[in-house]
């Protein structure tokens, strides 16, 4: 871990007393390129995703899980776009989270993407509890992932998640380093709560 990362408190400054795993979670781009996530830890993180709530218990999510150094990791990394390609190769694991957009009878699953979001959120909270960090990405070529992994038509690649242990922020290019150490900010509750009686 770099001195720059160590000198900045990444815990969220909250208006209420949150549990530490939520308060301390953040999305770094600096991952330790030599650290490995053990298989049992990956399984634990996926188990948290498995037990997330879903409409009618449909569990409309699927995952492609790839550890650094393998062919699947390379395929996922190749589908990333922009700055994501610069830093994501240092993550220990790349996961593609896919939404099952319709059921086995071809009926649409209108809440599937929401359910996938809950599943990934559970995964990330568990990853944080395991001492890992996660960073979700929207910058990727979904069609390339479909082809690379022969993804079924009813499954939509929705996000890519990098998992790993924190690395040195000063190993990042300058523009990403600045983002890495910038203060964390969120909109106020008054900006996001439309009605509260």
pLDDT in tens, 138-167: 999 999 999 999 999 999 999 999 999 999
Gap between the Cα atoms of 91 and 105, Å rounded: 38
Q: Maximum distance among all alpha carbons in the chain?
A: 55
162 near 138, Cβ under 8 Å?
A: no
**Residue pair 30/168 in contact by the 8 Å Cβ criterion:** yes
Confidence of residue 8 (pLDDT cuts 50, 70, 90): low
Side-chain-side CA neighbours of residue 39 (13 Å): 0
Cα separation, 165 vs 17, whole angstroms: 26
State the average pLDDT over residues 47-62: 97
Q: For the beta carbon of residue 91, count every other beta carbon within 10 angstroms.
A: 33
How far apart are alpha carbons 148 and 146 in whole angstroms?
6
pTM of the model: 0.92
Residue 73, pLDDT > 60, answer yes
Lowest-confidence segment of 40-44, 108-112, 125-129, 175-179 by average pLDDT:
175-179
- pLDDT value of position 2: 36
**pLDDT, tens digit, 9 for 90 and up, residues 85-111:** 999 999 999 999 999 999 989 999 999
101 Ramachandran zone, left/alpha/beta (phi>0; psi -120 to 50): alpha
What order of strands is seen across the sheet that includes strand 61-67? 61-67, 93-100, 155-164, 133-137
* % of residues, the chain, pLDDT over 90: 83
Distance CA 132, CA 102 (A): 32
pLDDT at res. 7: 44
Q: Which residues pair with 98 in a beta bridge?
A: 62, 157
Where do we find the tokens 């099952």?
100
């Amino acid at each position: 871990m770099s001195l720059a990362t160590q000198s900045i408190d990444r815990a969220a400054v909250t208006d209420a007393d949150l549990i530490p795993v939520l308060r301390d979670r953040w999305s770094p781009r600096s991952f330790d390129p030599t650290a490995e996530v053990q298989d049992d830890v990956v399984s634990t993180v996926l188990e948290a995703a498995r037990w997330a709530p879903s409409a009618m218990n449909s569990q409309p999510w699927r995952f492609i899980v790839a550890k650094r150094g393998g062919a699947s990791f390379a395929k996922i990394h190749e589908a990333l776009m922009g700055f994501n390609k610069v830093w994501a190769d240092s993550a220990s694991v790349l996961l593609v989270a896919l939404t099952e957009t319709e059921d086995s009878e071809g009926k649409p699953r209108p809440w599937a993407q929401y359910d996938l979001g809950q599943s990934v959120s559970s995964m990330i909270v568990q990853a944080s509890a395991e001492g890992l960090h996660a960073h979700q990405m929207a910058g990727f070529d979904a069609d390339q992932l479909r082809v690379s992994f022969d993804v079924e038509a009813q499954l939509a690649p929705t996000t890519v998640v990098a998992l790993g242990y924190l690395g040195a922020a000063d190993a990042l290019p300058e523009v990403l380093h600045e983002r890495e150490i910038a203060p964390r900010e969120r909109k106020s509750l008054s900006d996001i709560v439309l009605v509260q009686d």
